[in-house]
Chain A
Amino acid sequence: MVITMIGVLISIKEAFLQLFRKPFTITYPDEQKPRAERFRGVHALNINTCKGCALCALNCPNFAIQMVKRPDRKFKNPQVDLSRCMFCGLCVMACPFGSLTMTSTHDVVATTHEELILTPENMFERYLKFKEIQEKEKKE
C-alpha cells in the first residue's frame, strides 16, 4: 500500500511537470506541417505551355482526365475529375512540356460533385498561387 501511494504521488508530480511542456499537436488550419518536396497534392496547370497532346489523359489509369476545348484557346486542355483521381502522379510524369504539375494542397472539400471537377482555368489559378508560395519559400 505504501508503494502504491508513492507511485500515486510520483504520477501526480509527473502530470504537474507536464503542464510546462509545449503541446505536441498543431492547430491545424491555422498552422500546417511542412509537406515533403515531391508531395502529390491537387493538380495545377500552366495553360500557356500546354499544347493539348492528351498524353496525360491517355496515361491516367482511372480515366479521371478529359480533354476539353475552350473557345478562347487554340488547343484542348485537360480537365481533372478529383472524385476519380487517386493522386498517382502519372499524368505529371507523362507531360512533355512540364505544364501539368501537382501542388502541396491535400484537403479537398466539396458539397457537390461538380465542385470536385477541376477546369483548366481553375488549375491555372492554382498554378499561379503555388508559384507565388514557392518563390516566397525560396526567398526565406
Chain B
Amino acid sequence: MAFEIFSNELTVAIIKAVIFPGVLFQLVSVLMMMWFERKVMARIHMRYGPYYVGKFGLLQTLADLLKLLLKEIIVPLKSRKLLFIAVPVLLLASAFTPVAVIPFSETWYIFRFPYSAILVIAILSMVPTLEFLAGWAGGSKYSFIGGYRAATQQVSYEVSLFLSILPSVILAGSMDLIDITKAQNQYWFILLAPLAAFTYFVASLAELERIPFDIPEAESELVFGWKTDYSGILFGFQVFASYIFTFVEAALFTVLFLGGWIGPFLPPIIWFLIKTYLVFFVMVVVRAGLPRFRLDQLLNFGWKILFPLAILNIFLAVLVGDLILI
C-alpha cells in the first residue's frame, strides 16, 4: 500500500523538482548567469571580468557564494526580527515556484495546469509586497524608501506586464503555457505581435529592477535600497531570488513569443534553454548600455506610453488572429 503513494509519476515529478528544472539546475543556472552577466558587461566596458578563479573565471561566482555562506548574518537592533529573516526565505521560495509550470519540452514540466500563465503572474505579483515588507522590516530610512519605490514601480508596471501577456493568450486561445507553445508551430508570436513582445520585455525589466529601472536600489541615492540591512546568506538569498526571477521572466518570454521548445535539429530542451539565455543576453546588453531613469520618468513612461500600448496590443492581437490564423 505504501508503494502506491509513491507512484511512478510522483517519483518522476520529485526527481524533476530536485534535479533538472528544479533546485539543482536553478542553482547552477544562477551561478552561470551571474558569471555570464559579469563577463559580458566587462567586455562591453573593455575589461576582462572574472579571470583568475577557475577556467575563464567560471568558479568566481561559486567563490562569492561561499563567501556569503561564511559571513555572519547581522540583524539590526531596530528591525522587526522575524519579518526581517522571513522575507528573503519567502522571496526565494516564491522564485522557485513558477519554474514548476514552465514547459521545457512537450513532456518535461513538473506539473500541468490549465491556467499556468495566470499562476506565474500571480506569483510574480507577490514580489512587490515582499520587497516592501523587507524595506519596512529593515528599520532604516534607506531600506524603507527603497521598499516604497520598489512597490510603486512594480505595481505600476505589473499592469502593462499582465496586459502584454494577453495577446499570446488570445492568439493561442488558451492560458496553458504548453498549449500556447504548441500554437506557435507555424508562426512565432513575436512575428504576429511584435509590439506585445516589446511591452512585455520593457515591463519585465522594470519588474526585475534591472539597470535602466533599478530605482529601488539606486546606489547613489539610497545605499542599496531595500537590501541595505541584509548581510551574509540572507543577502545571497535575495540575489539568488532575483536571478531566478530573471530566468523565469526570460523563460516566459520564450514561451509566449519565441515558440518555446520549437526548433529544428536540436533536442527541444536545448532549444528552450538557448532561447531563454538569448533573452537574458539582450537584458544584459540593455543593462550595460543604459543609465538609470528617474522615478517620474519611469512612471510617465509606464502609464502614458507602455499602458496604452499594452491595451492597443490586445485589439491588434484580435485583429491579427482573425486575419491570419483563421
Question: Which A positions have Cβ atoms within 8 angstroms of B?
Answer: 1, 8, 11-16, 18-19, 21-25, 27
Contacts and interface: CB of A to CB of B under 8 A. Distances in A.
Contacts of A22: 46
B47 interface: yes
Interface in B1-57: 40, 42-48, 51
Interface of B: 40, 42-48, 51, 212, 285-286, 288-290, 301, 305
Consensus secondary structure, chain B interface: helix
Given A18-B45, A23-B43, 17 more contacts: A1-B301, A1-B305, A8-B212, A12-B285, A12-B286, A12-B290, A15-B285, A15-B286, A15-B290, A18-B46, A18-B288, A19-B43, A21-B46, A22-B46, A23-B46, A25-B47, A25-B48
Given A1-B305, A27-B51, A15 B288 contact: yes
A23 B48 contact: yes
A24 B47 contact: yes
A14 B42 CA distance: 14
Contact of A19 (B44, B290, B305): B44
Nearest to A13: B289
Contact of B289 (A1, A11, A23): A11
Nearest to B43: A19
A13 B46 CA distance: 16
Contacts of A8: 212, 290
A16 B305 contact: no
Nearest to A29: B52
22 contacts: A1-B301, A8-B212, A11-B289, A12-B289, A13-B289, A15-B44, A15-B286, A15-B290, A16-B285, A16-B289, A18-B288, A19-B43, A21-B43, A22-B46, A23-B42, A23-B43, A23-B47, A23-B48, A24-B47, A25-B48, A27-B48, A27-B51
Nearest to B212: A8
Given A11-B290, A12-B286, A24 B46 contact: yes
A54 to B, nearest CB: 45
